[in-house]
Amino acid sequence: MAGSFPVFSSDCVHSVHGLQSLQRQRMRSETKHIQSNKVKWDKWAGLVDGNGWRREFLRDAQRKLISLLDVKENVHFLDVGCGTGWAVGEAAKLVDFKGQFFGIDLSPKMIKKAKVNFACRDNFYFIEANAESIPLRDDVCDIVICTHSFHHYLNPNRVLREMHRVLKKGGKLYIVDTTADNWIIQVADVIIRLAEPQHVRFYSTDEFRQMFANEKLKYEISQTIKRAHLHVTGISKVHLGEK
């Protein structure tokens, strides 16, 4: 075996092979994770614009986030994990549709529906893509949002790096997600992880703060999304960052 790598000792060759096989294993599990998310969210694509408590849970958070945004005309706006694009449309309404509005999502069916929903708008762009590799140039976005999608990302640090890359200097990042600041959410997180392979994990406010710092995003503030119909206080929070 060492013969094919004359410069390295046989120990070294073994570690190279070990590393390669680890990398292959990791790639296989990443591909599996992405595939299982696509299958799950493709099934959901027909439901998220309908009725029911899940839709209301998601819409309620999106509505509250939109009310916090400071969107200016000619904004470059991106929603990561945009689903069928509802929040993109609501943000655009704030500035009379003046700007460039982008949404990316892993699920082909979510993207197909978003395109149909906004077919009459030529400044809306919906793209099927993994949040770990956002198909936009550097420094283009004024605002990036991400609602109830972050806990599905296998490599959250890579996603934050991408969000940082596409933001302009001074651009704002708003991540809304269930936040594991109390034991109820921490227990729920473990149970959901066992039940749903697409669920990676919920993070606490301190973990968000640390992840933002690791990717050179200034962590500004977190705010609880208050919900009339849910009594677990602090279930979802907005985590606001700035490049």
Ligand X SMILES: C[S@@+](CC[C@H](N)C(=O)[O-])C[C@H]1O[C@@H](n2cnc3c(N)ncnc32)[C@H](O)[C@@H]1O
Task: Kindly list the residues in this chain that would bind ligand X in the complex (CB under 6 A).
Answer: 37, 41, 48, 58, 62, 81-83, 104-107, 110, 130-131, 147-149, 152-153
Residue closer to ligand X by CB (options 34, 95) is 34
Residue type, 63: R
Residue type, 108: P
Q: Are the C-beta atoms of residues 129 and 186 closer than 8 Å to each other?
A: no
The nearest distance, CB 5 to ligand X, in angstroms, is 36
Q: What are phi and psi of 153, to 5 degrees?
A: -90, 125
Residue closer to ligand X by CB (options 110, 225) is 110
Q: What are phi and psi of 69, to 5 degrees?
A: -75, 145
Q: What are phi and psi of 178, to 5 degrees?
A: -60, 130
- Those residues with Cβ within 8 angstroms of residue 154's Cβ, 6 or more apart along the chain or in another chain: 30, 33, 34, 132, 200
Residue closer to ligand X by CB (options 132, 207) is 132
The nearest distance, CB 177 to ligand X, in angstroms, is 10
The nearest distance, CB 149 to ligand X, in angstroms, is 3
Residue closer to ligand X by CB (options 153, 208) is 153
The nearest distance, CB 106 to ligand X, in angstroms, is 4
Give 101's strand partners.
77, 124
